C-alpha cells in the first residue's frame, strides 16, 4: 500500500504558480481572490484558512469576506454583484455548504463565469478544483496516458453532493467514463464497492467506507470531510483499517485537500491572466 502525499503534490504545483504570479506582477497584475464565508462551519473555516495561507504564500491576494449565518439571499447577491463589478478582483467563491435559507443555484448563477474559479456556473470558464485534484492524484498513481489506464477500470463514486461527488462524476463523464454511483438510496452498496478498482468517496461522514466493503488492491480517494467528537477533521474511511487492503489511498488531512486548494489557485492565476 502507498499513502498519497497530497501536501507534496500541492507543494510542487504551488511553486510553479508562484513563478507565474511573479511574471503577472511584472505586468502590474496581482491575482485577487475573494472568498465569501457564511457562518462558521468547522470544515468550511478549515478550507478557507488553507486557501488564505496557500494563496498568500504564492503571492496572490486573498480577501475573506465573513458574513453572518443569517444573511439574506438578497444581501448575499448584492455582495457578489459588488465583487463582480470590481476589475481588481479575478476570482469569487462562496464557500459551501450554504445555509438552507439560501438558494444555491441562484448563488452559482450570480458569479460572473470568468470569475467563477470554483466552476459552479454552467458557463464557468473553469473546471471544478475538486475534480481537477482527483485527476491530479490519479496521475500521480499512474502517469499518462491516464485515460487509457482509467477506461477499463471499475470506478465507484460514493456521494453525489454538489461540492464533492457531483463535479467528480461530471468530470469522469466528460472523459467518457461512466462511474457507478452510490448514494443514500443505494440498496446494496457493498455489491458495487467489492468490485471497484477505484473508489472516490465524497460523503463527509466518518467510516462510511468500511474495510469489509473493499477488495484487495483498491485505490481509495477520500474527498469527504467531517468533524469527529474528538474535534478533529476526519475522512470517509478509517486509515488504520484500510491501509493494508488498499494499494493507494489518500489520508485526511494531507490528501485531497491541499491539492484541491492548489487547483483552485491555478484557476485564479488563469483568471488573472485573462
Does residue 148 share a domain with residue 193? yes
pLDDT score, position 172? 97
pLDDT band for position 178 (cuts 50, 70, 90): very high
* Among candidate residues 172, 127, 170, the one with its CA nearest the CA of residue 154: 172
Work out the mean pLDDT of the chain and round it to a whole number: 96
Which pLDDT belongs to residue 47?
Answer: 87
What lies within 8 Å, CB to CB, of 126 at 6+ separation is 116, 117, 118, 119, 267, 270, 271
pLDDT band with cut points at 50, 70 and 90 for residue 232: confident
Residue 207 pLDDT more than 80?
Answer: yes
- pLDDT classification of 144: cutoffs 50, 70, 90: confident
| pTM exceeds cut of 0.85 | yes
Output 145 or 264, whichever has higher pLDDT.
264
Does residue 180 share a domain with residue 86? no
Closest by CA to 166, choosing from 158, 155, 177, 154, is 158
Give the mean model confidence (pLDDT) for residues 23-38. Answer: 98
Max distance between CA atoms of the chain, in angstroms, equals 57
Asked if residue 4 belongs to a domain, the reply is no
Q: Are residues 91 and 174 in the same domain?
A: no
On whether both 105 and 133 belong to a single domain, the answer is no
Torsional sign, CA 182, 186, 189, 195: negative
Predicted local confidence at residue 257, as pLDDT: 93
Residue 226 confidence (pLDDT): 87
Is residue 95 domain-shared with residue 161, that is, in the same domain? no
d(CA 269, CA 60): 8
Same domain, 169 and 236: yes
pLDDT digits 0-9 by tens, 76-123 = 999 999 999 999 999 999 999 899 999 999 999 999 999 999 999 999
Is there a single domain that holds both residue 42 and residue 96?
A: yes
Q: Is residue 172 part of a domain?
A: yes
Where residue 212 sits, what CATH number does that domain have?
A: 3.40.50.720
Residues 189 and 84 in one domain: no
* pLDDT-derived band at 270, boundaries 50, 70, 90: very high
Number of domains in the chain: 2
The whole domain housing 181 covers 129-257
Q: Parallel, antiparallel, or unpaired for β 248-249 and 155-158?
A: unpaired
Q: Do the domain assignments include residue 265?
A: no
Residue with the larger pLDDT of the pair 145 and 24: 24
Amino acid at each position: 500500500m502507498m499513502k498519497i502525499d497530497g501536501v507534496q503534490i500541492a507543494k510542487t504545483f504551488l511553486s510553479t504558480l508562484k513563478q507565474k504570479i511573479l511574471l503577472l506582477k511584472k505586468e502590474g497584475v496581482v491575482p485577487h481572490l475573494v472568498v465569501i464565508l457564511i457562518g462558521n462551519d468547522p470544515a468550511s473555516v478549515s478550507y478557507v484558512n488553507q486557501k488564505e495561507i496557500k494563496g498568500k504564500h504564492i503571492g496572490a491576494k486573498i480577501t475573506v469576506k465573513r458574513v453572518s449565518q443569517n444573511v439574506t439571499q438578497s444581501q448575499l447577491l448584492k455582495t457578489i454583484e459588488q465583487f463582480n463589478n470590481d476589475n481588481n478582483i479575478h476570482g469569487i467563491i462562496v464557500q459551501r455548504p450554504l445555509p438552507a435559507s439560501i438558494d444555491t443555484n441562484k448563488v452559482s448563477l450570480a458569479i460572473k463565469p470568468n470569475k467563477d474559479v470554483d466552476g459552479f456556473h454552467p458557463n464557468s470558464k473553469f473546471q471544478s478544483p475538486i475534480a481537477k485534484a482527483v485527476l491530479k492524484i490519479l496521475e500521480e498513481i499512474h502517469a499518462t496516458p491516464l485515460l487509457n489506464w482509467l477506461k477499463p477500470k471499475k470506478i465507484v463514486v460514493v456521494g453525489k453532493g454538489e461540492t464533492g461527488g457531483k463535479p467528480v462524476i461530471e468530470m469522469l463523464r466528460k472523459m467518457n467514463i461512466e462511474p457507478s454511483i452510490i448514494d443514500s438510496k443505494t440498496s446494496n452498496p457493498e455489491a458495487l464497492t467489492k468490485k471497484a478498482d477505484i473508489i472516490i468517496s465524497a460523503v463527509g461522514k466518518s467510516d462510511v467506507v468500511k474495510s469489509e466493503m473493499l477488495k484487495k488492491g483498491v485505490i481509495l480517494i477520500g474527498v469527504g470531510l467531517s468533524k469527529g467528537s474528538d474535534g478533529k477533521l476526519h475522512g470517509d474511511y478509517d486509515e488504520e483499517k484500510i491501509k493494508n487492503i488498499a494499494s493507494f489511498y489518500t489520508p485526511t488531512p494531507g490528501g485531497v485537500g491541499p491539492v484541491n486548494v492548489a487547483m483552485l489557485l491555478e484557476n485564479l492565476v488563469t483568471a488573472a491572466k485573462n
